[in-house]
Structure 1
């Protein structure tokens, strides 16, 4: 049986032409229109979202800046309330409170405040240093734990002071013998063997660039009390060994008229750095020092037996 081969010829489809020449079919035009509209919508959404995020960021930054310090009225109210109740024995006087507060107010955004002593003014300092970092060092683990229990947001640590007020002369003699070694003014206190150095604070405390140090503890009004000799020496070293932050540290010493506070302040904070004295509060401004320096004060003969009462 004879077979016949058949050929099938396929012609490419040719778009229909319209009166104005060739045009895309209506269906394709609809797709293109949808694509264009979708792209425009996406672009509009992206732009408006970006602007909204930028506006929100500006608002948040402004809000954060406004909250960096307490409103002046609140700051003054707290200070006024504390001043009215400052007649109780052991508390800072109105003039003393204002002396510390005036320095805290100068901190533009944040202030690093280190306070030796858990006192009546503890909550005041924490409040006035709003948005800054405030750390309290106490001599009683019980008082520190109660403070943290009642006020969980407060940062406080207890330290074991190994000095006694009655040992003042021995401590100063030890300092003189180690002035160019363990008791030098620029050092890492964490590894110091100086008897006046506090080397058992939490490690991170030594790395903070403290703007203000207030010494209102530990107890020092009887011979067996720890005294503030170690706190004053430690403050002097922290200020001179400071890394970062401002060039100088404000150091306040309460009860400056007592012998241990007076002698140690003159030796380790120096009379040349004394800015003012309000009642029983001395205000020093202690600058950084080169690591090769070995004298706390420019007057290297500042320590003399005449400073000690018999």
Structure 2
């Protein structure tokens, strides 16, 4: 029995090489982890320093560009403005504005607090010029030709243009002016939200946000009015006067420019709804009015209403 027990006994020996191999694997694993930990830390430190250096370079470069180019506060450099005016006034288009007409509008836009809100009636030859001169500001164009407005927006996606349907006719201006005077305390009052107005002279089908903006500059350079059934500019001039007087905030004054000023009824409409006492300068083709916002209970467009009565007595197309 004893011999059987001894013969069944097994002796297990651990070779020293096996122990050495396990210890070596652990050391390699530790070295591997340590290496990647060190590499990660070095990468993190380098990335942080590199990012800080890159940010500093970009900031310095932007400051240098802004200082040398004159784009501080979003304003165009004087040389750029003068160049734009020069080439715009030299166009072969017979309907383009001259330098003497462009300059007053450009000067007002340049002095306007940034961002400046510019509303233009008419997609004329100068629409890209107005967009460029009102750099970083809001510029909206209103035109009676829906197809042309869509074409311009497709050609220049940065242009914000809308079409409007005019219901006025040059052959009906006497009746339109008489109706406006009769309803001066109701639908055609000088301070109101035209979006809800039924005045025949007011434009109430523009996009809603147009009525919410406090416009700093309004240019009336459309629609055309050189034939009896043409809509004429009585409606945009009336609308400009109401928008200027109905401002809720921003600058209390609105600069309103009327192009083709002495061509016919534009001067009459301007004196009636923008007021002669607000006319600060005029040339043969451009009238410049400065209209202040009014209290909502005001019902007279002009302080000296008699001055407009005499001018509006002579209607001629």
State if a TM-score over 0.5 links the two structures. Answer: yes
Separation in structure 1 between the aligned mates of residue 193 and residue 78 of structure 2, nearest angstrom:
38
Residues 99 and 278, structure 1, Cα contact 8 Å, conserved in 2: no
* 1:117 and 2:112 correspond: no
5+ residue gaps, structure 1, are 1-37
RMSD, aligned α-carbons = 2.7
* 1:78 and 2:97 correspond: no
Separation in structure 1 between the aligned mates of residue 231 and residue 130 of structure 2, nearest angstrom:
23
Separation in structure 2 between the aligned mates of residue 158 and residue 132 of structure 1, nearest angstrom:
21
Secondary structure of 1:124's aligned partner: helix
Calculate the TM-score normalised by the size of structure 1: 0.79
User: What CA deviation, in whole Å up to 9, does each residue of 1:134-180 have, x standing for no partner?
Assistant: 00000000110110010011100000000011110000111111011
User: What CA deviation, in whole Å up to 9, does each residue of 1:213-267 have, x standing for no partner?
Assistant: 0000001111110100000000000000011111100000011113321111001
Residues 265 and 316, structure 2, Cα contact 8 Å, conserved in 1: no
Aligned-residue offset at 1:128? 0.9
Separation in structure 1 between the aligned mates of residue 234 and residue 111 of structure 2, nearest angstrom:
28
Separation in structure 2 between the aligned mates of residue 50 and residue 88 of structure 1, nearest angstrom:
53
Corresponding residue number in structure 2 for 1:8:
none
Residues 165 and 260, structure 1, Cα contact 8 Å, conserved in 2: no
1:283 is aligned, of 288, 307, 313, to 288
User: What CA deviation, in whole Å up to 9, does each residue of 1:177-235 have, x standing for no partner?
Assistant: 10110000000100000000000000000000100000000011111101000000000
User: What CA deviation, in whole Å up to 9, does each residue of 1:115-143 have, x standing for no partner?
Assistant: 00011011111111111110000000011
Q: 1:70-149 residue pairs with structure 2 within 5 A? A: 70-85=76-91, 88-149=93-154
Calculate the TM-score normalised by the size of structure 2: 0.77
Separation in structure 2 between the aligned mates of residue 51 and residue 178 of structure 1, nearest angstrom:
67
Q: 1:1-310 residue pairs with structure 2 within 5 A? A: 66=72, 68-85=74-91, 88-301=93-306, 302-304=308-310, 306-309=313-316
Aligned-residue offset at 1:89? 2.7
- Say which structure is richer in helix: 2
Aligned CA distance change for structure 1 residues 69 and 192 (closer, same or farther; 3 Å): same
Larger mean Cα displacement after TM superposition, 63-72 or 249-258: 63-72
Residues 119 and 141, structure 2, Cα contact 8 Å, conserved in 1: yes
5+ residue gaps, structure 2, are 1-40
Give the count of matched residue pairs.
268
Separation in structure 1 between the aligned mates of residue 49 and residue 253 of structure 2, nearest angstrom:
48
Separation in structure 2 between the aligned mates of residue 188 and residue 56 of structure 1, nearest angstrom:
47
